[in-house]
Amino acid sequence: MAQIKQRLITLLLGKVSQELYGEMFNPAIIKSSPVYYKTAVPKQVIVGQEKFTVGGKEVTYHLRGYQPDVLLIQTTIEVEDIFHKGIFALERQSYEHSYRILEKYGGDLLFSEEYSVFAVTNYDGEPEQFLNYRDIIVSLLKSEAHLELDPQEIQYTLGSRIKYSNNDLSIIDWDGAFLFDPSDDIEEDLELLTLANLQLLRYRILDHQLDSRLARMAELVRNIPAGGSLRGKDLAQKMKETMEMRMVSISELRRLERDVKLIGDWYSARFYELAAAKFKIEDWKRTIRSKLESLEDTYSVVMENFTVSAKHRAEWIQIIAFFILQIGWLVLIVLELIRFTRK
């Protein structure tokens, strides 16, 4: 029997305060995927690495980034028994160092996503043999170190799986995934799980930004003076601000959707869709689209008020000009009348 390889892989993604630069990272993709796969998904750049002692072992923390400002901190820890409750403590220690690194780069802990991958490779036979450890597998996937899970919950969690060949298996959940592969071909799965977490993080960031923009737009509406009168300079500035907020929000949403739309109907697409379903990506999309519609509505209200304001000013100018013209004609008539009577 082959020597089974067991690893705990921790992923932490977070928004940082600095723009990330580095050499392009090219993961090894072996499983069948479209020729345009590598150009369809967001690229990572190599930022650096750090070393820490975790569980008595020296562990390398690989730092990569999604430009401009999302840092990925990834570790791989070899373990003797992945199906042991001691993995929870190891996982916690690993993330403690990851969060320290994220903070050092100016990361916002509110906008971060952690995800654990439990990899079992180089085994003989079918992966279903490891489902004898189903209780601990589901506990690790759900980060439940002490709670005994209901059998139906265990069965439900194990149902979120995908197979590429007869002897591999991937089980995906919200907090983590188990990857079983006899040939140790897990790089694409890792990249897709990372991508799904990246999309979730970016949707959360965009959702927060939309809340801020909606609040700002509402403030613009409230600050329109009674009667809708604004000076030309103020009007131009506020129109520019509302248009910028609208266009930036639309652009960000389209960029997020474009990142994965070219993956296609291959194994990579089905794997990603399973992860995205667990992360409720479609729910986030609907929420953001709803807020974007609210932003559009508020934008229309602001533009309408500004337009009405400008129209009212133009009407008043016309009325005043008309009266001035009438007064001018009256003065001319009076002068002509005076000249006529003198003659």
User: What's the pLDDT tens digit per position in 135-160?
Assistant: 999 999 999 988 889 999 999 999 99
What stretch of H or E contains 117?
strand 112-121
Q: Are 178 and 170 in contact (CB under 8 A)?
A: yes
Alpha helix (H) residue ranges in 105-172: 134-141, 151-158
pLDDT tier, 43 (very low <50, low <70, confident <90, very high otherwise): confident
Section 190-212 average pLDDT:
89
8-state DSSP, 164: S
**Which amino acid, one-letter code, is at 295?**
L
8-state DSSP, 4: -
Nearest of 194, 275, 145 to residue 10 by alpha carbon: 194
- pLDDT 10s digits, 5-24: 999 999 999 999 989 989 98
**Which amino acid, one-letter code, is at 84?**
H
Encoded tokens for 143: 């980060």
Residues 6 or more apart in contact with residue 126 via CB below 8 angstroms: 166, 167
**What is the rounded CA–CA span in Å between residue 63 and residue 75?**
9
- pLDDT 10s digits, 298-321: 666 666 666 555 555 666 677 776
**Which residues share a beta bridge with 64?**
46, 72
Section 233-258 average pLDDT:
67
Task: Decide the pairing of beta strands 176-181 and 112-121.
Answer: parallel
* Number of other CB atoms surrounding residue 250 within 10 Å: 13
Section 85-99 average pLDDT:
96
Encoded tokens for 140: 């690790």
